[in-house]
Chain A
């Protein structure tokens, strides 16, 4: 009988995690370049006795286990900002960003130029070109970024943005600060850059709301199941404990 309660407990714990994922997606609904996350569950079958000679065989019990989060890498809406340092990526590519901890990947293309003239992301990490960070001189005006990522200014060509793609983007892990880490990057072939645009978060408010309602209801039903199990046991104990039983 306790098994039923433990199983619904495993379900409740998984649902709490799922709620955390929904909350994080919703919190980042306005974060540029954010990619929604989905959580996947797995059935965890309890091991049963191997010996099949018993009169009544062991019944397999399945618990639920949160197993993995997957990145929903579909494109977000492209919003025109008119800012020359806003770059959106159309395609599966990522920007390469140089952080103190090594190279990281990002989909968020709202860049700035720092005091030294280096192209940086919002945290001040250098955005990498094919030959390292991209440097602008004080006299340069009119920055143009072509569809293939090549940059030119009033002083001529400045190199190209380093865009990377991944054979299996699900290998990437998230680091916060709009950065992804890991994976095996290859030079992007099918990705185009769009200057003056920013890619919005791809979180869909409607489906996250629906997901949230589903999670809360499922949680409630698991909780009420636990309650009924408890009542059932209590009644059983009461009946069996009556002196004239």
Chain B
């Protein structure tokens, strides 16, 4: 009975689906989180008779074939890279990106990480770092006696130091964008790294080069919509149940066969 195996592929696909949905829901309040969506495709078909095969000496043809599918598989769970809502936080080191770009972060192993999480902090030596303590690429230093910091839409960081009336420029935040954002690999910690599928980063100045612009005092929330996720969860759970009913249906059929004598 193929039906048993076919339905089991359906159950494992829905299990994956629930895993993806529960991770989205778990990260509903994660700054800069991008939700994922499980994508499925049907498996190979067994062609028992092919459409167009000849059915008689007069050359009549079978108008449609007889094909039996063999189930489903999860092909990928691409991230939906749409903009999350931007919330005011009134913290001067919170920066949201409106647009396509990612902040670039130096990872301890020397690689560059990419993130949408702009909740920055000052480290002990005055560097601008992410909330996990990784320095922002470009090394932006904020003097200890800075009264206030301003980050403009194009990424220019300025600090009002001591009693000086004029701000002092401290550097510029650059953004990276990718040909295929969904192809980035997730590292956890709100970080992504580049892969062959994502393509190389194109580094640009905010507000130009199509990277989007920066918004100080704001943070980008996760783009998870709880109502959609719950609806998807219900659909996945029901699909799981129906597939398990198919297994028990196929089992009933087998049972009536084995009871024959």
Contact = CB atoms under 8 A, between A and B. Distances in A.
Nearest to B212: A141
Nearest to B8: A27
Nearest to B223: A82
Contacts of A173: 45, 47, 50-51, 65, 67
Interface stretch (B34-42, B140-148, B152-160): B34-42
Interface stretch (A50-58, A96-104, A216-224): A216-224
Nearest to B38: A30
Contacts of A174: 42, 45, 67, 69
Given A16-B253, A70-B64, A141-B100, A123 B69 contact: no
Contacts of B182: 112-113
A122 B41 contact: yes
B260 to A, nearest CB: 6
A216 B65 contact: no
Contacts of A220: 252-253, 256
16 contacts: A16-B2, A16-B3, A21-B69, A26-B246, A28-B71, A29-B239, A29-B243, A32-B39, A66-B48, A68-B62, A110-B39, A112-B180, A138-B177, A176-B45, A176-B70, A215-B249
A27 B9 contact: yes
B71 A19 contact: no
Contacts of A112: 78, 180, 182-183
Interface centre among B183, B239, B261, by most A CB within 10 Å?
B239
A188 interface: no
A208 B242 CA distance: 9
Interface string B1-26: 11110110110011001000000000
A34 interface: yes
A83 interface: yes
Interface residues of B, number: 74
Interface of B: 1-4, 6-7, 9-10, 13-14, 17, 37-45, 47-52, 62-72, 75-76, 78, 80-82, 99-100, 177, 179-180, 182-183, 196-199, 202, 209-210, 235-236, 238-239, 242-243, 245-246, 249-250, 252-253, 256-257, 259-261
A205 interface: yes
Interface string A63-86: 000111110000000000111100
A28 B63 contact: no
A83 B80 contact: yes
Nearest to B199: A115
Given A32-B39, A223-B259, A66 B66 contact: yes
| Majority secondary structure, B binding face | mixed
Given A83-B82, A115-B180, A31 B63 contact: no
Interface centre among B51, B99, B177, by most A CB within 10 Å?
B51
A29 B10 contact: yes
A21 B72 CA distance: 12
Contacts, number: 224
A220 B253 CA distance: 7
B248 to A, nearest CB: 9
A26 B68 contact: no
Contact of B71 (A12, A23, A68): A23
A182 B10 CA distance: 27
Interface string A1-36: 000000000001001110111111011111110100
A227 B257 CA distance: 10
Contacts of A182: 51-52
A171 B3 CA distance: 25
Contacts of A215: 249, 253
A27 B245 contact: no
Interface in A217-240: 219-220, 223-224, 226-227, 230
